[in-house]
């Protein structure tokens, strides 16, 4: 008998997991699922911002634990970072779908706003998929859909979100994201129509992070908190680094990352106007844009911890030295900051060195288009946007391909425009006096190749 009691006592085990069944049976499932999507949006944003920063000319990875080959434009479908990027985007999509298909019917107290948020996440996941990948499967082991189809899916999802959403502020965000999708598709008419609605309005949607629960802003960590800094900016972008910073304990001071801001509407309109040859209208769009940028907050921060010696490359400047964009260009001051001499300005949403004078003194479409792309690069830095400007798209990952019989070989090859100088995108030379010459001005190369289908959608 004693034996029996002992056995019964030890015979029960505790299950620390919450199964799907238990989760759905309990009240308020949707509430936690929406927060889960917010969390996933933060996770996805981290993967996108860091990997696109490294792959593009914006940042060089001086740290061993991020991709050491994206900087060289080596994008292999078997690469773990390619898989992670796909996985984080698809997890956002799958979670949104699960919310709509499973959680929504199971939770009677779900609201329309919650449903709208699910559609927003679905649309945003498709938008990222269409911008960053040549195609992606749209459901478990499903057929691969082309990037154009993904963007169209995004537009549909944002429509659904708008139909459910009552907040005008959020509807403007959806509108802007829809305009961005049309822009990427090269659909000038729809892009312009939507972007125009937003001119003069406040549109800003930022992703929030939680450093105390393991979802810190990785771009903030990489460019400010972790010392030495992990990512080094192209010297002509030095003044925009860091976009995110912390005061005190980093875990409790995590800055947001803007994924939709009204600046984009002006940029879309400017490029559309340039596409139809209207230089003056484009100039006007961009001058208005500068006003928007000027109204964005600028914070003086102490970045004296930055020494730019985080890894192998030690040639990054940390003195205030002049820089020229190419060896033919003129040396310009103010782009590279000395961070030891006192606080520096952090442009937490948008910043640029392009001036009204620069804009108004352009006389050709290409010159203003060049400035438009410089503005895009400077305004969107650290927000994961540069790759679509460069026309780079990732392939479907090998893990997907090995699991999913629907992935044909064509989807395992990345899209890398031939004009991109893979080995020298982040390169620069240092003169004896410390002044810097950037090897390639990629914005110039983009404009020179604007007729290629991979870049400049409206040309």
Partner 1 sequence: MVRKLFLILFAFSLSVNFYANSFRKKLSPDITKIRIKDQLIGLDLKDSPLTQVFVEIESQIEKKFIYLPDQEIYRSKVSLKISDAPLQDVLQRLEKLVALKFKVTENGILVKEKSTSGTTSLQQVRIQGKVLDEKALPIPGATVMLTSENRGTATDFEGNFNLSLNASDLPVELKVTFVGYKTKYIPITKAVNDLQIILGASTESLNEVVITGQGADVRKKRLSTSVVTINEDELNKISAQRIDQKLSAELPNAQINLTGGQAGATSIIRARGVNSAFLSSTPIIYLDGVRMDNLNTKMQLGGTSQGAAISALADIPMDNIEKIEYINGGAATTLYGSDAANGVIQIFTKKGGKLGTSLTLQAESGVETPTNDYLYFDRTKDLLFRNGFYQNYRLNLNGKGEGGFGYSFSGSYRNSSGVQIHDQNENLKADFSTGFRAKLNDKLTYESSFIYVHNEYKRNRNGNQGGYTGLWFAEDGSSSFTGPGFNNRLDELTSQEFEDIKAYVDNAERLQDNQIVVNRFTTSQIFKYTPLDHLNFRFTGGLDYRAQDQNTVITNEYLTATRGQEVMDEGSIQNVQRNYLGLTLELTGQHNWEVGNFSLITTFGGQFFRTKDHQILYSGSNIRDGAQTISDAAVKDSDEYLSEVLNYGVYLQENIGFKDKLFFDLGIRGDRNPAFGENIGTQFYPKAGISYMLSSESWFNSTLFNSVRLRGSYGVAGNLPPAYANEKTIKFDGFLGEQSAYFGQPGNDNLKPEKTTTIEGGIDISLANSRINFSAGYYRSLTKDGLFYVPSAPSTGYSIAQLYNIGEIENYGLEVSANFIPIETKDMNLSITASFNTLHNEVLDSGGAPAFNINGFSSRTLQTVVQEGYPIGFLRGNYGTFDENGVLEKSEPQSYLGTTIPDIFGNLSLNYSYKNFGLFANASYQAGAYAHNWDAQFRYYYGASEDYIPAGEIEANGRRNWLSFTNRFVEKTDFIKIRTIGLSYTLQPKNKAIYKTIMFGFTAVNPLNFTSSSFDPEATISGAAQGQGGASTGGISYATYSAPRQFLGSIRINL
Return the residues of window 417-446 that contact partner 1 according to CB under 8 A: 423
Is 213 or 355 the residue whose CB approaches partner 1 more closely? Answer: 213
Say if strands 323-324 and 436-438 run parallel, antiparallel, or are unpaired: parallel
CB closer to partner 1 out of 79 and 271: 79
- Taken in order 270, 274, 276, 277, the sign of the CA dihedral is positive
Helix axes 263-275, 279-294, angle to 10 degrees: 170
Site for partner 1 contains 200 (CB under 8 A): no
Looking at beta carbons only, is 37 or 162 nearer to partner 1?
37
Does 87 contact partner 1 by CB under 8 A? yes
Pick from 106, 156, 251, 430 the residue near partner 1 by CB under 8 A. Answer: 251
**CA separation for the pair 320, 332 (Å, rounded):** 11
Residue 319 binds to partner 1 (criterion: CB under 8 A):
no
| Footprint of partner 1 on 29-58 (CB under 8 A) | 29, 31-33, 35-36, 38-40, 42
Q: Which of the residues 220 through 239 are near partner 1 (CB under 8 A)?
A: 226-228
Site for partner 1 in 94-113 (CB under 8 A): 94-95, 97-98
* Structure-block tokens of residue 152: 């169209």
Q: Please identify, using beta-carbon distances, which residue of 320 and 398 lies nearer to partner 1.
A: 398
Distance CA 152, CA 130 (A): 9
Q: Which is nearer to partner 1, 115 or 400 (CB)?
A: 400
Binding flag, residue 15, partner 1 (CB under 8 A): yes
DSSP bridge pairs for 393: 415
Choose which of 167, 196, 201, 212 interacts with partner 1 (CB under 8 A): 212
Near partner 1 by CB under 8 A, which window of 181-189, 193-201, 274-282, 310-318? Answer: 310-318
Of 64-72, 321-329, 360-368, 375-383: span binding partner 1 (CB under 8 A): 64-72
CA distance linking residue 245 with residue 227, whole number of Å = 12
Angle between helix 80-98 and helix 112-132 axes, rounded to 10 deg: 150
Indicate the residue among 210 and 367 with the shorter CB distance to partner 1.
210
From 28-36, 163-171, 324-332, 436-444, span contacting partner 1 (CB under 8 A)? 28-36
The answer to whether residues 118 and 96 touch, using CB atoms and an 8 Å cutoff, is yes
181 contacts: CB under 8 Å, gap ≥ 6: 123, 127, 130, 151, 152, 154, 155, 158
Structural contact between residues 368 and 283, judged by C-beta atoms closer than 8 angstroms: yes
Report which of 338, 369, 160 is spatially closest to residue 267, judged by C-alpha positions.
Answer: 369
**How is 34-82 classified by DSSP, letter by letter?**
HHHHHHHHHHHHHHHHHHHHHHSSSEEE-STTS-SSGGGT---TT-HHH
The set of residues, in sequence order, having a beta carbon less than 8 Å from that of 448 and lying 6+ positions away, is 419
383 touches partner 1 by CB under 8 A: no
The least distance separating partner 1 from the CB of residue 267, rounded to whole angstroms, comes to: 30
Q: Which stretch binds partner 1 (CB under 8 A): 4-12, 232-240, 275-283, 378-386?
A: 4-12
- Site residues for partner 1, window 340-369 (CB under 8 A)? none
Q: Answer positive or negative: Cα dihedral of 408, 413, 414, 416.
A: negative
103: DSSP letter: I
Residue 160 interacts with partner 1 (CB under 8 A)? no
Nearer to partner 1, 106 or 281 (CB): 106
The structure tokens listed for 226 are 């972790």
φ and ψ at residue 334, rounded to 5 degrees = 90, -10
Q: Counting contacts by CB under 8 A, is residue 404 touching partner 1?
A: yes
Residue with tokens 């634990």: 65
CB of 70 to partner 1, least distance (A): 10
Instruction: Out of 25, 109, 142, 327, point to the residue binding partner 1 (CB under 8 A).
Output: 142
By CB under 8 A, residue 208 contacts partner 1: yes
Exactly one of 113, 210, 278, 367 binds partner 1 (CB under 8 A); which one? 210
Q: Does 128 contact partner 1 by CB under 8 A? A: no
Please, which residue, 211 or 457, has the CB nearer to partner 1? Answer: 211
- Among 64, 295, 319, 361, the residue binding partner 1 under the rule CB under 8 A is 64
Question: CA 358, 180, 81: angle at the middle one, nearest 5?
Answer: 100
Q: Which is nearer to partner 1, 310 or 317 (CB)?
A: 310
Q: What is the spatial distance between Cα 114 and Cα 119, in angstroms, rounded to a whole number?
A: 9
CB of residue 239 to partner 1, shortest distance in Å: 21
Q: Can you tell me the distance from the alpha carbon of 130 to that of 136, in angstroms, rounded to the nearest whole number?
A: 8
285 binds partner 1 (CB under 8 A): no
């Amino acid at each position: 008998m004693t034996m029996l009691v002992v056995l019964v006592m030890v015979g029960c085990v505790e299950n620390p997991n919450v199964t799907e069944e238990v989760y759905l049976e309990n009240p308020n499932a949707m509430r936690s699922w929406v927060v889960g999507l917010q969390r996933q949006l933060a996770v996805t944003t981290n993967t996108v911002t860091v990997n696109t920063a490294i792959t593009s000319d914006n940042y060089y990875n001086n740290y061993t634990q991020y991709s050491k080959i994206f900087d060289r434009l080596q994008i292999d479908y078997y690469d773990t970072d390619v898989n992670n990027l796909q996985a984080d985007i698809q997890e956002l999509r799958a979670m949104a779908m699960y919310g709509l298909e499973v959680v929504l019917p199971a939770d009677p107290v779900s609201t329309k706003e919650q449903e709208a948020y699910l559609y927003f996440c679905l649309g945003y996941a498709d938008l990222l998929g269409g911008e960053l990948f040549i195609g992606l499967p749209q459901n478990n082991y499903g057929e691969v859909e082309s990037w154009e189809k993904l963007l169209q899916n995004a537009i549909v999802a944002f429509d659904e979100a708008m139909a459910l959403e009552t907040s005008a502020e959020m509807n403007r965000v959806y509108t802007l994201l829809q305009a961005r999708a049309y822009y990427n598709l090269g659909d000038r008419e729809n892009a312009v129509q939507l972007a125009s609605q937003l001119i003069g309005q406040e549109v800003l949607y930022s992703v929030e992070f939680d450093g105390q629960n393991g979802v810190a802003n990785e771009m903030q960590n990489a460019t400010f908190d972790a010392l030495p800094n992990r990512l080094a900016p192209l010297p002509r972008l030095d003044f925009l680094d860091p976009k995110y910073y912390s005061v005190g304990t980093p875990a409790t001071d995590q800055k947001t990352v803007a994924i939709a801001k009204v600046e984009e509407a002006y940029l879309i309109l400017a490029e559309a106007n340039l596409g139809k040859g209207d230089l003056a209208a484009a100039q006007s769009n961009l001058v208005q844009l500068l006003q928007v940028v000027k109204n964005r907050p600028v914070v003086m921060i102490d970045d004296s911890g930055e020494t730019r010696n985080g890894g192998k490359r030690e040639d990054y400047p940390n003195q205030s030295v002049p820089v020229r964009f190419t060896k033919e260009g003129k040396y310009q001051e103010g782009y590279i900051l000395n961070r030891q001499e006192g606080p520096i300005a952090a442009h937490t949403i948008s910043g640029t060195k392009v001036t009204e004078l620069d804009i108004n003194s352009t006389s050709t479409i290409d010159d203003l288009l060049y400035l438009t792309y410089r503005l895009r690069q400077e305004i969107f830095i650290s927000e994961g946007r540069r790759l679509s400007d460069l026309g780079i798209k990732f392939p479907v990952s090998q893990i997907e391909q090995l699991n999913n019989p629907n992935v044909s070989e064509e989807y395992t090859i990345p899209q890398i425009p031939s004009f991109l100088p893979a080995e020298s995108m982040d390169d620069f030379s240092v003169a004896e006096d410390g002044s810097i010459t950037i090897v390639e001005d990629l914005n110039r190369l983009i404009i020179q190749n604007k007729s290629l289908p991979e870049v400049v959608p409206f040309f």
